[in-house]
Chain A
Amino acid sequence: MYTKDGVDYFVVDGHIHFWDASEENTANKYGEGFIRCFYDYQRNLSPAEWVWPLEKFRKYSEQDLVHDLFETGYVDVGIFQPTYLSEFYTDGFNTTERNGRLAAKHPDRLIVNGAFDPRAGEAGLAELERLAAQWQLRGVKLYTAEWRGSSKGWKLSDPGAHDYLAKCAELGIRNIHIHKGPTIWPLNRDAFDVADVDHAATAFPELNFIVEHSGLPRLEDFCWIATQEPNVYAGLSVVMPFIHSRPRYFAQVLGELLYWLDEDRITFGSDYAIWSPRWLVEKFVDFQIPEDLQSEYGVLTTGVKRKILGLNLARLYDIKVPESAQVAVVAGQTDRMSAGQVPA
């Protein structure tokens, strides 16, 4: 919980990792390139005092995570999003198993998400059932651009993916987080393409589709889909750190998301350990849309900030929120940021 000026903010960090990219676990030059790329993201967008030494960044401890999230980072609940990368790292990079061992020690504070790849066929469905039973999965993290054998990625609209999404619905896995971002293999398609989300969101209205990084490089395509599909959400991982060094762009991206989606479908994620929640939460609560952009984007209210920082994800993951941090409903007052919204 973060408290500022007498206002409580319940914080759900929807995008955290517990990875191992130590030299011992790094299998090849791709693994080396991958972690260095992540490290450049940290160095590029963090305040100087939040940049770690490379050695720590490659492999941080359980205590680091607990300290940075819960002891100093204001996070009430963190949600692990796994990233296997088994071909780059001997024991995987950030697997459900690795996350789960840590989550088991903090069952009230950490949520473990699973993963699936529809190209694994029937065996993969059985594995998903096993993961769901073992970790009581409420969400999965998907990488549609991942190369596998002769396959050049997959789409949420593939028939095989349909079976997996149906299985998720059956197992009560309601939250489908989708990474739309750089692919590590030379595909000549656009790995950021978000069009397949539209199809899946229509086919499975009972599932929530959280597009991580808000489809950022394809922001307009994402917004267009999210406008039409009420069960599509924008995850702010990677977007939020703009608040420090590029606040104007942060205001514009957030303004666009609020215009096209509305405040109930935007979720906070630090992408820890790339960035740490403490400075993100502090800066976000202090943030306001620059004056000269307010005629286009409106202003951020306390209610909007509360929803984005925690209440929206609390709703998706059935997390109990203390009364003091709920959005107050005041007659005649709206927390809407801008007029002319599409129905959510």
Chain B
Amino acid sequence: MTRGTVGATVAVEAAERSDAVTAALATVLDPELDRPITELGFVRSVSIDSGRVEARLRLPTYFCAPNFAWLMVEDARRMLAALPWVTDVTVVLEDHFASDEINQGVACGREFAEAFPLLSDPDRLGELRRTFLRKGCLAAQARLGRRLTGHGWTVRQMAEARLRDLPDRLTVTLVRRRRALGLPADGVDPVFTDEQGRPVLPVDMEAHLRRCRTTAVGIGANTEICEGLLATRYGTAAGTTAVALDNTRADSAGGAA
């Protein structure tokens, strides 16, 4: 540790900035896996030099879908740029077949469709993002349904449950995904809803939870493959480079289980 008042202040400020950067990156999700990139080990390194921040990202394979990669790079850049003390942001995606197009495209504020003019259609990326947020909502409900069923809740009780009836730590992921979709997510709103935010009736609850469960198993299995491939590509410690700050972990651990 640095000794002396000035040194200590600088050290504290550096630590705070480092924490702020990690926290900002922890809000960036892999859209498909519905998990923060910090937890997945996709953040290889971060460097901070007064107001300049550089984050280097890496993915499980050379051919990971460039559209999803684009969303992560773009989100990381936006979240870092929103920090009040940041003057200059660089986000670099490494070891990807489309690294150049993605890094330059995002840095110049282009749209995905502009960076890959012949290979994509305009306006489709936002739709894709919403599709996966909807899946995230279903997967979060699967975890809640399992937990509540385990505590003896009936389908009627679940259908009547409001978000305020459950502790925040259990609903944080669901609430975030719903807000991102512009769906009702206040305390008075129901816990269990379909993709459009409509409440689930008791008679439909069992089938609804089945579909939610299958969604969660799919996302979980996909995550297992991606985490394994990342570790294979970069060594077994690949997943531990960044500290997970997003408390979604509290209710997303173990995927479907």
Contact string, B15-50, partner A, CB cutoff 8 A, digits 1/0? 000000000000000001000000000000000000
Partner of B118, one of A40, A150, A253: A150
Q: Answer yes or no: B198 CB below 8 A from chain A CBs.
A: no
Closest to A43 in B: B232
- Asked if A218 CB lies within 8 Å of chain B CBs, one says yes
Specify which chain A residues have a CB less than 8 angstroms from the CB of B199 in the assembled complex. Answer: none
Does A104 have its Cβ within 8 Å of any Cβ on chain B? no
Q: Is the CB of B218 within 8 A of A219?
A: yes
- Knowing A186-B67, A188-B125, A188-B128 are in contact, say whether A217-B215 is a contact too (CB < 8 A): no
Q: Confirm or deny: B164 has a beta carbon within 8 angstroms of a beta carbon on chain A.
A: no
Q: Is the CB of A44 within 8 A of B231?
A: yes
B176 at the binding interface (Cβ < 8 Å): no
Do A217 and B222 contact each other (CB < 8 Å), given the known contacts A188-B112, A256-B214? Answer: yes
Question: Pick the contact of B221 from A34, A191, A216 — CB < 8 Å?
Answer: A216
Q: Is the interface of B mostly helix, strand, loop or mixed?
A: helix
Chain B min CB distance to A42 (Å): 9
Which one, B66, B219, B222, B231, contacts A186 given CB within 8 A? Answer: B66
| B118-146 interface (Cβ within 8 A of A) | 118-121, 124-125, 128, 131, 135, 138
Separation in Å of the B70 CB from the closest CB of chain A?
8
**In the complex, chain A residues 196-224 whose Cβ is within 8 Å of any chain B Cβ:** 216-220, 223-224
Which bracket fits the contact residues of A? 35 or more
Residues of A within 8 A of B256 (CB): 252
Contacts of B211 in A (CB 8 A): 220, 224
Chain A's nearest CB lies how many Å from the CB of B115?
8
Choose one: B112, B119, B220; the contact of A249 (CB below 8 Å): B220
Interface pair A183/B218, CB less than 8 Å apart: no
Contact partner, A252, options B125, B135, B217, Cβ 8 Å: B217
B-chain residues with CB within 8 Å of residue A239 when the two chains form the complex: 221
Contact call B67/A33, Cβ cutoff below 8 A: no
A99-B233 Cα distance, complex, nearest whole Å = 30
Bound form: Cα–Cα A22–B255 in Å: 38
In the complex, identify which listed stretch (B57-65, B85-93, B153-161, B185-193) lies at the interface while the others stay far away. Answer: B57-65
On chain A, the residues within 8 Å of B222 by CB distance are 216-217
- A105 located at the interface, meaning its Cβ lies under 8 Å from any Cβ of chain B in the complex: no
- Residue in B98, B120, B221 whose CB lies within 8 Å of A242: B221
Bits for B201-230, please: 1 = Cβ < 8 Å to A, else 0.
Answer: 000000000110111011111101100110
B221 contacts A40, C-beta separation under 8 Å: no
Give B106 Cβ to nearest chain A Cβ, in Å: 13
Task: Give A20-44 as 1s and 0s: 1 = Cβ < 8 Å from B's Cβ atoms.
Answer: 0000000001100110110011011
* Cross-chain contact of A184 among B63, B224, B233 (Cβ < 8 A): B63
Residues of B within 8 A of A252 (CB): 217, 220-221, 256-257
Most chain A beta-carbon contacts within 10 A, residue among B62, B112, B131: B62
- Bound-state CA distance A140–B232 (Å) is 32
B252 to chain A, nearest CB (A): 15
Within the complex, the shortest CB–CB distance from A225 to chain B, in Å, comes to 12
- Please give me the residue from chain A that is nearest to B69 by CB atom: A186
B236-257 Cβ-contact flags toward A at 8 Å (1 or 0): 0000000000000000000111
Please, how many angstroms separate the alpha-carbon atoms of A245 and B213 in the complex? Answer: 22
Closest A-B pairs by Cβ, 5 of them: A219-B218, A33-B62, A186-B66, A188-B120, A220-B214
Taking Cβ atoms with an 8 Å cutoff, the residues of B that contact A are 32, 60-67, 97-98, 101, 112-113, 116, 118-121, 124-125, 128, 131, 135, 138, 210-211, 213-215, 217-222, 224-225, 228-229, 231-233, 255-257
